[in-house]
């Protein structure tokens, strides 16, 4: 599978246009990998995770065509991950070439916001899923894993995606995993790639996100559970806030000591 990080930031992006903290000012000065759009992931040009506010800008900057996407996974309904208007631009009045029919998967409170008119008008269908569900979409076997996020006001999901050759976890917007999530991951088994929320940087994740100490603790348990195999599984820290007080270079240096890579916008890898 080819995996492309379209965006790697938390809700306010980096830099936050209203902030002059050290991390934001460093990003303005240096540009490049220090600049982060809101998080989204593209797999093989046909599976997309999240439809945030920077999708068009990120896709165009990386010269990606998204009309071939047939599977869209939504982690949760917070606006930095789910912008319904992105789907409106699939309508024939805004496109001049046929699109692959796409199926949207997300929690019930996500799919409930999609107007029925889009089914035919924008070549869309959708299905509500919940933690523990497993299904096939195209060549992908997908497992939904409950996230620890939202304080009970919404259902947030992580996803394991497999194609028969490789398997990865997309685990953004979550605090330390629940025992229900661990049970599902044990059943899934060893992963080739783990992409894990690292929003809070040097700070505590506060229950709904991971800080660096949380990332290391989750990684250690994944090793103990056989989900990560050192030397075989790649782990990538992802989804960063400027409030975590770490620049990209500082993240690379800190996580590199633990054999964890750091995502950046445009990072492309094969698993």
Per the confidence metrics, is the pTM higher than 0.85? yes
47-49 and 40-43: which strand pairing?
A: antiparallel
Buried b (16+ CB within 10 A) or exposed e, 80-115: bbbbeebbeebeeeeeeeebeebbbbbbeebbeebe
**CA-CA distance, 248 to 231, in Å (whole number)?**
24
- pLDDT tens digits, one per residue of 93-116: 999 998 999 999 999 999 999 999
Enumerate residue ranges in the chain where pLDDT < 50. none
Domain boundaries, the chain: 2-264
pLDDT for res 57: 97
If one counts every other C-beta atom within 10 angstroms of the C-beta of residue 2, the result is 11
For domain 2-264, the CATH architecture is: 4-Layer Sandwich (3.60)
pLDDT for res 258: 97
pLDDT for res 43: 98
**CA-CA distance, 115 to 238, in Å (whole number)?**
31
pLDDT for res 175: 97
pLDDT for res 120: 87
pLDDT for res 84: 96
Residue 78, token pair as written in the block: 């917070």
**CA-CA distance, 156 to 103, in Å (whole number)?**
18
Q: Which residues, in sequence order, are CB contacts of 112 under 8 Å at separation 6+?
A: 128
């Amino acid at each position: 599978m080819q995996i492309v990080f379209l965006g790697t930031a938390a809700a306010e992006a980096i830099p936050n246009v209203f902030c002059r903290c050290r991390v934001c000012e460093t990003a303005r000065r240096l540009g490049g990998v220090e600049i982060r759009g809101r998080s989204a992931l593209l797999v093989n040009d046909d599976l997309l995770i999240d439809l945030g506010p920077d999708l068009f800008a990120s896709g165009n900057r990386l010269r990606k065509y998204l009309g071939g996407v047939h599977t869209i996974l939504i982690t949760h309904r917070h606006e930095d991950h789910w912008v319904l208007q992105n789907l409106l631009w699939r309508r024939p009045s805004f496109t001049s070439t046929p699109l692959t029919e796409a199926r949207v998967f997300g929690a019930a409170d996500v799919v409930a916001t999609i107007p029925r008119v889009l089914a035919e008008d924008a070549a869309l269908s959708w299905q509500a899923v919940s933690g523990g569900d497993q299904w096939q979409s195209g060549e992908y076997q997908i497992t939904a894993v409950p996230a620890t996020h939202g304080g009970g006001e919404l259902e947030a999901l992580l996803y394991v995606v497999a194609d028969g050759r490789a398997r990865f976890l997309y685990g953004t917007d979550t605090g330390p995993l629940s025992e229900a999530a661990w049970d599902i991951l044990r059943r899934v088994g060893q992963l080739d790639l783990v992409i894990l929320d690292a929003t809070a940087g040097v700070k505590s994740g506060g229950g709904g996100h991971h800080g660096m100490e949380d990332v290391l603790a989750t990684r250690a348990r994944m090793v103990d559970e056989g989900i990560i195999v050192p030397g075989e599984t790649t782990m990538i820290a992802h989804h960063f806030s400027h409030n975590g007080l770490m620049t990209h270079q500082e993240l690379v240096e800190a996580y590199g000591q633990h054999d964890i890579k750091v995502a950046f916008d445009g990072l492309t890898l094969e698993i």
